[in-house]
């Protein structure tokens, strides 16, 4: 054998070994990843012949996504009995466009291929039963969800409600919504047309505003600023700060006015308690500059800013600006400049205050069970951060109760129940209306539910937009639904 032939033989052997190694690697280590990819038609074809498990809510395990027999080339059709009421949570299961939401993150359990179901699959083969997926139960309280949907009807916005003690998501609504049944059909032309229509809609019905949209939180962020101040040990709720009608910002010709154009509490100096009650921009602008950006950022991060929560539905991280100068710090302290938050994150802020300063990790999937109702997995409450001490949490609680009793949050009052809350009106640009916010929890002495509401557009005059007027009544209804009032 001459030298050239030997080289070719060695090269061929090396290529063959590389091919074998790559094939082994793909089959041993990447098979599950590749099978899970949207757009894998071979896998999709086989999975549409599986009785996919339901997604349920409530004590009665009401199905909000289920598979029913189909009389076409696929054996099952995915249906969504709640239509758009849970669309941003369940997501869609589509032959054309793949999966999203819980349909995507819990796909292995729903289609029965999760490793925890291997014994069940073997049993099905032995007994000649068709493969059936597991059931995924969500933490959602249907009454709270319905109240949030009703409150947001005709508006753009979002509501998130949390159990402060556990982190369970009790309601998550984004409006406008869409009907995932339109994308689950087997008529490809109709599905494609629905997809094009939904994506062309200027109101963005497929956007999950509750967990995936970032808004300036406006005055609701003053709770974070107040938490940083009280945690520093230099301030109490009775500490006085400058509170003129208009604050001249340093290093700038810009000013920061109070929304009503007056000083705070009838004086150029006011306590932090009064400043929160009346939502005074100037007082919190001064407070923010005295604390500095690092203190504000650290406090925001203790509440969960900068972290991604609820990975099961792809929630995004809220943010505090990296290196703001003094005027920008003043704006940031009132939830403006480049501070951006999801409604989920602001619900976590008030839930943390309600839970004696401890922020619980939010979760949406309660448990996963086999078709014969045996539990495969169950989510346990998990602490995320101690945002403030119990003593500071109690001070904030007292201040937030005062906001609802005597201040801008009066529309959230519930007969016989003490409510803690904070309003917010976040400015955006001159060509669009401000965002109306309200965050709250109840009962204040034993919190069972924490809520964040943002109304992006209610179709009302600009002067009629405020957190107390637009968002607080929605939060009240959601709290009452959870408390069975």
Catalytic residue positions?
A: 219
Distance CA 273, CA 241 (A): 10
Helix segments in 363-471, DSSP class H: 390-406
Question: Of 274, 272, 324, which is closest to residue 300 (Cα–Cα)?
Answer: 324
Going by C-beta distance under 8 Å and a sequence separation of 6 or more, which residues neighbour residue 373?
135
Asked if residues 452 and 459 have their Cβ atoms less than 8 Å apart, the reply is no
Tokens of 6: 């030997």
Looking up tokens 């005059």 gives: 461
Bridge-based pairing of strands 358-360 and 269-271 is unpaired
Asked if residues 424 and 225 have their Cβ atoms less than 8 Å apart, the reply is no
Going by C-beta distance under 8 Å and a sequence separation of 6 or more, which residues neighbour residue 181?
79, 80, 83
Q: Strand, coil or helix: what is 50? A: coil
Q: At what angle do helices 222-231 and 293-302 cross, to 10 degrees?
A: 100
Asked if residues 384 and 361 have their Cβ atoms less than 8 Å apart, the reply is yes
Please give the C-alpha separations between residue 271 and each of 231, 327, 329, 476, in angstroms, as whole numbers. 16, 22, 20, 27
Question: Of 135, 99, 95, which is closest to residue 114 (Cα–Cα)?
Answer: 135
Tokens of 465: 């937009």
Distance CA 422, CA 472 (A): 9
In 29-168, the DSSP E strands lie at: 55-57, 62-69, 76-79, 93-94, 98-99, 135-138, 156-162
As a whole number of Å, the CA-based R_g of the chain is: 26
* Residue 182, CA atoms < 13 Å, CB-side half-sphere: 16
């Amino acid at each position: 054998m001459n030298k050239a032939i030997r080289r070719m033989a060695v090269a061929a052997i090396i290529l063959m070994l590389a091919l074998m190694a790559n094939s082994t690697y793909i089959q041993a280590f990447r098979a599950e990843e590749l099978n899970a990819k949207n757009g894998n038609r071979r896998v999709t074809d086989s999975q549409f012949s599986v009785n996919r498990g339901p997604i349920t809510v409530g004590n009665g395990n009401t199905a909000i996504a289920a598979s029913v027999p189909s009389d076409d080339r696929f054996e099952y059709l995915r249906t969504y009995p709640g239509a758009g009421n849970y669309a941003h949570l369940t997501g869609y299961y589509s032959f054309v466009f793949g999966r999203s939401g819980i349909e995507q993150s819990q796909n292995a359990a729903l289609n029965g291929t999760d490793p925890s179901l291997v014994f069940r699959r073997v049993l099905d083969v032995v007994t000649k039963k068709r493969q059936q997926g597991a059931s995924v139960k969500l933490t959602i309280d249907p009454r709270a969800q319905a109240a949030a949907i009703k409150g947001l009807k005709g508006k753009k916005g979002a509501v998130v409600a949390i159990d402060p003690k556990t982190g369970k998501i009790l309601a998550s609504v984004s409006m406008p919504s869409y009907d995932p049944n339109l994308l689950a059909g087997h008529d490809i032309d109709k599905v494609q047309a629905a997809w094009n229509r939904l994506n062309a809609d200027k109101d963005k019905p497929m956007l999950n505003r509750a967990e995936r949209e970032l808004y300036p939180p406006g005055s609701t962020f003053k709770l974070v600023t107040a938490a940083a101040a009280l945690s520093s040990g230099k301030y109490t709720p009775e500490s006085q700060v400058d509170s003129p009608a208009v604050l001249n910002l340093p290093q700038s010709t810009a000013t920061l006015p109070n929304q009503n154009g007056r000083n705070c509490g009838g004086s150029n100096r006011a306590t932090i308690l009064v400043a929160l009650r009346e939502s005074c921009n100037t007082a919190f602008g001064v407070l923010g500059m005295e604390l500095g950006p690092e203190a504000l950022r650290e406090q925001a991060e203790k509440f969960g800013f900068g972290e991604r929560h609820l990975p099961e539905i792809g929630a995004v991280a809220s943010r505090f600006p990296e290196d703001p100068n003094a005027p920008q710090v003043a704006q940031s302290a009132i939830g403006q400049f480049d501070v951006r938050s999801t409604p989920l994150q602001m619900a976590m802020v008030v839930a943390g205050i309600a839970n004696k300063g401890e922020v619980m990790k939010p979760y949406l999937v309660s448990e996963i069970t086999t078709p014969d109702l045996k539990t495969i997995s169950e989510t346990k409450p998990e602490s995320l951060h101690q945002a403030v001490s119990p003593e500071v949490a109690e001070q904030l609680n007292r201040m937030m109760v005062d906001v609802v009793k005597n201040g801008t949050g009066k529309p959230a009052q519930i007969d016989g129940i003490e409510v803690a809350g904070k309003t917010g009106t976040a400015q955006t640009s001159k060509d669009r209306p401000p965002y109306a916010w309200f965050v709250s929890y109840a009962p204040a002495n034993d919190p069972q539910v924490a809520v964040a509401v943002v109304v992006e557009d209610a179709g009302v005059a600009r002067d009629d937009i405020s957190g107390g007027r637009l968002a607080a009544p929605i939060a009240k209804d959601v709290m009452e639904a959870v408390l069975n009032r």
